[in-house]
Amino acid sequence: MTLRIQSFDIDCRDPRAVAGFWQEALGWRRTHETDEEIVLEPPAGSPEDGVAADLVFLRVPDPTPGKNRLHLDLRPDDQEQEVKRLITLGARRVDVGQSSEVTWVVLADPEDNEFCVLRALPTTP
C-alpha cells in the first residue's frame, strides 16, 4: 500500500497562538507560515523527522462546535511533570466524562482542542 498520513490539520481562529502552543509543547519546528496556515514538523534529524505526520494549523472563522472528533494522544516520559509543563504553556484540564480511574489526563490547548497525556510506558528490565 502506498497511502500514508501526511498531516493532521487543526482548524483554529488564531493559528499563530495555537501553533505556538504546540511548537513549545512538542519542541517541533515551523516549516511554513502564512497568516492563514502554519506547519509544524518534528526537529530536523530526529527519529520522527520525515516519519511523523506534520501538524497544520488552518485559520477558520468559526469555533469548533461541540466535542473534538479527533484528538492527539501524547506519551511522555513523566506524565505528572509533562501535565504541569503543558498547563504552564496555556493548556487546561478538561472533564469529558472520564472516570477517576483512567490512566490518562485530558487537557485542552488555548482554543479548546482536546488532547490526552498518557502515562509513561513501563520500562523493560
Question: Over its length of 125 residues, how does the chain's per-residue pLDDT go in tens digits?
Answer: 677 889 999 999 999 999 999 999 999 999 999 999 999 999 999 999 999 999 999 999 887 677 777 889 999 999 999 999 999 999 999 998 888 899 999 999 999 999 999 998 877 66
Class of domain 71-125: alpha beta
| Of 34, 32, 79, 28, residue with least CA distance to 51 | 28
pLDDT at 66: 72
Q: How far apart are CA 83 and CA 96, in angstroms?
A: 17
Report helix, strand and coil shares of the chain as percent, to nearest 5.
20, 30, 55
| CATH class belonging to 7-60 | alpha beta
- The answer to whether residues 42 and 54 touch, using CB atoms and an 8 Å cutoff, is no
Q: What is the pTM of this model?
A: 0.86
Q: Where are the domains of the chain?
A: 7-60, 71-125
Residue 5: what pLDDT? Answer: 85
